[in-house]
Amino acid sequence: MTGPAVATGRWDVVVVGGGVAGLLVAWEAAAAGRRTLLLEAGSRLGGAVTAHRVGGLAVDAGADSYALTRPAVTLLIADLALDDAVVAPNPVGAWVRHRAGAAPLPANGLLGIPSRPWTADVRRVIGLAGAARASLDRVLPAGTAMGPRATLGSAVRGRLGSRVLERLVRPVAGGVYSADPSTLEMDTVTPGLRAAVAGTGSLSAGAGRIRGAAGRSGSAVAGLHGGMNTLTDALTRAATAAGAELRTGAAVRAVRRDAAGWVVDLGSTTIAAAAVVLAVPGGTADGLLAGLVPDEARAGVAAASTPVRLATLVVRAPELHRAPRGTGVLVAPGVTGVRAKALTHATAKWSWLAERAGSGVHVLRLSYGRDEGQCSAGSGGPDLPDPADLPALALADAADLLGVPLRPGQVLDTAVVTWESVLPAPRVGQRAAVARLRAALAALGPEHPLAVTGTFVAGTGLAATVADARETARRLLDPTPAVDAPGPAADQVDTRPAG
């Protein structure tokens, strides 16, 4: 019995994983003159930044926007000559649905943290008592609730009170991370916030400093005409034009070291490489790294990830033209009668999509899946509906959240997609765990580097992913430390309504 065939030639760089992070590293490596191969196990590239067709429309099946609070994606778009395709969402903003009612999300929030707790739009959500409690944040010592093991939830509760946590931060964090904010490591999900609190003296002022002078909540993002999936198309074209070879349907089983560098094992064949970059989900990376770095260096890096199920509805409903809930609704845990954690009114959010859909036709996207700490059913697992129950459940939820009757006869088409591992929820210790892993990888030596990138080390959101991938590529191509290189955690997560 013979062993697997060895592919002819030797690659300078092999990238495992064809999401945005992997495509970006492959492009930069090829553009630098390195013989580059990208291997993607699935049938298509882009990861969660991809499209599907619903009702004759090509719409985003995953991420539909990117955060403007940091420049990483903006700079990438410029490098790809996509500047003219950048579009702003409808400035009416999104709403929040909590146990006591529904209201527009306040302006200038950061992951739901209000920068000015006493403004009318904040009081409308948390009430006078909640605003009074939140105002204590300005007089508390800067270190209160900001210890080294602070979570997003503990910091908010300790400084701003339970109403801000339950009615603002929980629904926003649920939409972005599908996670309970009381489990999320603050320094990972809100990088720079600790320093901003130390500099301003309060959590609300620190959030305002990071958020900047953006408008209504949801307006600190942008998108691309045609959807964020066009970013994947542009990266694919750029990487191919630079000389990278991109292969789909190529599942990597193992990575081994040999005297000449690395051997990437696909089962039926092996590929020799001078350098390897793993741009895959945390669980996959953990398996490939077993035996290459000490177990203690891998511990805690592959953060838990709650599966998310998205139901997209295309409906003929002229009554939705007035966008009764703005660009969408975030739903707080514990709201009865609704299982969705978020709804995006996509045709209200993006004018280009409304034009393509035509008069009276609307695209609604509902997101399902909370971690066990937020499950209203108390089942001890993700609150994820069976696909067979969708889209009927989604239609009922949409009617409830939008306050507009919607009948099955109005539905023109539907689509359901499940994302298993695109929203890692960084627990306390995640940032230190990533640092340990990267130190262990660096100890393997610079001659034949092995690197990791992607959401499991960068954090959720395109801004964080792109920043980390570019820094990974820079270190791969020039291992000399850069004095002013930004860290991968410098980018803020995307607070889009649909998670």
- SS3 annotation, 457-475: HHCCCHHHHHHHHHHHHHH
DSSP state of 481: P
**pLDDT of residue 304 exceeding 80:** no
Same-domain check for residues 283 and 320: no
Contact 20, 460 (CB under 8 A): no
Same-domain check for residues 184 and 234: no
Same-domain check for residues 119 and 195: yes
Q: Does the residue 253 lie in any domain?
A: yes
In this prediction, residue 214 carries a pLDDT of: 46
Give me the residues paired with residue 313 across strands: 364, 414
Q: Does the residue 79 lie in any domain?
A: no
Token pair, residue 372, equals 């066990």
Most confident range, picked from 1-5, 43-47, 214-218, 432-436 = 43-47
pLDDT tier for residue 34 given thresholds of 50, 70 and 90: very high
Contact 54, 30 (CB under 8 A): no
**pLDDT of residue 12 exceeding 90:** yes
pLDDT tier for residue 69 given thresholds of 50, 70 and 90: confident
Q: Does the residue 99 lie in any domain?
A: no
In this prediction, residue 420 carries a pLDDT of: 84
pLDDT tier for residue 218 given thresholds of 50, 70 and 90: very low
In this prediction, residue 426 carries a pLDDT of: 78
What percentage of the chain has pLDDT greater than the value 90? 75
Mean pLDDT of all residues belonging to the chain: 89
Evaluate the CA torsion angle 209, 211, 213, 216 in order and state its sign: negative
What is the DSSP code string of 15-70?
EE--BHHHHHHHHHHHHTT--EEEE-SSSSSBTTS-EEEETTEEEESS---EESSS
Q: Rounded to an integer, what distance in angstroms lies between the CA atom of residue 263 and that of residue 280?
A: 17
In this prediction, residue 482 carries a pLDDT of: 52
Same-domain check for residues 366 and 394: yes
- Per-residue pLDDT reduced to its tens digit, 361-375: 999 999 998 764 544
Same-domain check for residues 325 and 403: yes
Q: Rounded to an integer, what distance in angstroms lies between the CA atom of residue 449 and that of residue 255?
A: 12
- Residue at a domain's end among 158, 182, 211: 211
Q: Does the residue 495 lie in any domain?
A: no
> Crossing angle, helix 72-79 and helix 462-477, to 10 degrees?
70
CATH number (domain holding residue 311): 3.90.660.20
Alpha helix (H) ranges present in 273-330? 282-289, 295-298
Token pair, residue 19, equals 């999401």
- Intra-chain end-to-end CA distance of the chain, in Å: 49
Angle at 54 between CA 49 and CA 55, to 5 degrees: 150
**pLDDT of residue 213 exceeding 90:** no
**pLDDT of residue 454 exceeding 50:** yes
**pLDDT of residue 151 exceeding 50:** yes
- Residue at a domain's end among 419, 442, 477: 419
**pLDDT of residue 59 exceeding 70:** yes
Exposure pattern of 61-80 as b/e (b: 16+ CB <10 Å)?
bbbbbbbbbbbbbbebbebb
Q: Rounded to an integer, what distance in angstroms lies between the CA atom of residue 107 and that of residue 240?
A: 42
- Per-residue pLDDT reduced to its tens digit, 405-432: 999 999 999 999 999 877 677 788 888 8
In this prediction, residue 61 carries a pLDDT of: 96
Contact partners, residue 495, CB within 8 Å, separation at least 6: 67, 109, 110, 111, 112, 172, 175, 176, 217, 218, 220, 221
Q: Rounded to an integer, what distance in angstroms lies between the CA atom of residue 474 and that of residue 29?
A: 9
Q: Rounded to an integer, what distance in angstroms lies between the CA atom of residue 476 and that of residue 449?
A: 7
Same-domain check for residues 439 and 296: yes
- Residue at a domain's end among 211, 238, 273: 211
Q: Does the residue 78 lie in any domain?
A: no
**pLDDT of residue 160 exceeding 80:** yes
CATH number (domain holding residue 264): 3.50.50.60
Give 3-state DSSP helix, strand, coil % of the chain, rounded to 5: 35, 20, 40
pLDDT tier for residue 491 given thresholds of 50, 70 and 90: very low
Same-domain check for residues 131 and 194: yes
What distance lies between CA 237 and its chain's CA centroid?
23
Q: Does the residue 77 lie in any domain?
A: no
Same-domain check for residues 310 and 299: no
**pLDDT of residue 332 exceeding 90:** yes
In this prediction, residue 300 carries a pLDDT of: 80
**pLDDT of residue 471 exceeding 90:** yes
- pTM as predicted: 0.89
Lowest-pLDDT choice from 37-51, 404-418, 447-461, 483-497 = 483-497
Same-domain check for residues 317 and 293: no
Lowest-pLDDT choice from 51-65, 143-157, 200-214, 268-282 = 200-214
Same-domain check for residues 316 and 409: yes
Expressed as residue numbers, the domain containing 410 is: 51-71+86-91+221-226+306-419
Token pair, residue 296, equals 């203690």
Same-domain check for residues 288 and 354: no
Q: Rounded to an integer, what distance in angstroms lies between the CA atom of residue 198 and that of residue 206?
A: 8
CATH number (domain holding residue 120): 1.10.3110.10
Same-domain check for residues 317 and 365: yes
- Hey, how many other C-beta atoms are within 10 angstroms of the C-beta on 29? 28
Q: Does the residue 497 lie in any domain?
A: no
Contact partners, residue 343, CB within 8 Å, separation at least 6: 325, 328, 329, 331, 364, 365, 366, 367, 397, 398, 401, 402, 497, 498
Contact 29, 23 (CB under 8 A): no
Question: H or E segment at 264?
Answer: strand 261-265
Per the listing, tokens 């001890």 go with 380
In this prediction, residue 238 carries a pLDDT of: 98
In this prediction, residue 114 carries a pLDDT of: 96
**pLDDT of residue 1 exceeding 50:** no
Q: How many structural domains does the chain have?
A: 3
Phi, psi at residue 40, to the nearest 5°? Answer: -120, 125
Token pair, residue 21, equals 């992070």
Contact 64, 346 (CB under 8 A): yes
Q: Does the residue 117 lie in any domain?
A: yes
In this prediction, residue 303 carries a pLDDT of: 65
